[in-house]
Amino acid sequence: MCARYAEAGNDPIDPRVAQRVVFGRGMVASSAMVDAVYQVRGAGYKTALLTNISRDGEAMWRALIPVDDLFDVVVDSSRVGLRKPDRRIYELTCTRLGVSPHRCVFIDDLACNVEAAQGLGMHVIQCLEPVDAADTIVRLLLGHPQAAEAGG
């Protein structure tokens, strides 16, 4: 990320400094997104988590959400030696899910990751606001607003 930031014309940032800034206050999970994944998976869709968080951060994100209850597949870039937006990590995720990219919906906050997924033929949602993204995915796949079944 730091390299892409510098390539975009910004002053270089030390990755360790960036990590402290981004994760220094900890991470929180979006309850709306967690609920949306529960709904989508409960409706029979396969789900995957594709993360670029470093191996050092794994304990942090795994403690935030019930990973095994939410996802059929977890692809961790630090374990597979590939990182988004490398097209091979999206292809690996599809292979592990047993679906073609054209049958996938990909959600991410970074435009470069969304663009790479779209280039493979995935339907994409850029997550600028987690509640909106959760509502969009539930509407797209289940045909009703996310909040329609939230909490019960």
Which two structure tokens, joined as six digits, stand for 95?
């292979």
For residues 75 and 89, is the Cβ–Cβ distance under 8 A?
yes
Q: Tens digit of pLDDT for each residue in 88-118?
A: 999 999 999 999 999 999 999 999 999 999 9
Listed residue (115, 60, 43, 129) closest to 84, CA to CA = 115
Contacts of 91 (CB under 8 A, 6+ apart): 101, 120
At residue 146, the pLDDT reads: 74
User: Would you mind telling me the total number of residues written for the chain in this entry?
Assistant: 152
Q: Which two tokens stand for residue 138?
A: 């539930």
Query: What is the rounded CA–CA span in Å between residue 57 and residue 59?
Result: 6
Summarize the confidence of residues 123-134 as an average pLDDT: 96
Per-residue pLDDT tens for 19-45? 666 656 667 789 999 999 999 999 999
Tell which phi-psi region holds residue 26, choosing left (phi > 0), alpha (psi between -120 and 50) or beta: left
What residue ranges define each of the domains in the chain, with the CATH number in brackets? 29-148 (3.40.50.1000)
Helices (H) and strands (E) in the chain, counts: 9, 4
* pLDDT (0 to 100) of residue 145: 81
Model pLDDT, residue 151: 46
> What is the mean pLDDT of the segment spanning 3-19?
78
Q: Is the pLDDT of residue 87 over 80?
A: yes
Distance CA 10, CA 47 (A): 36
pLDDT digits (tens, 9 = 90+) for 39-76: 999 999 999 999 998 777 788 888 889 999 999 999 99
Please give the average per-residue pLDDT across 14-22, as a whole number: 70
Rounded Cα distance between 145 and 42, Å, is: 15
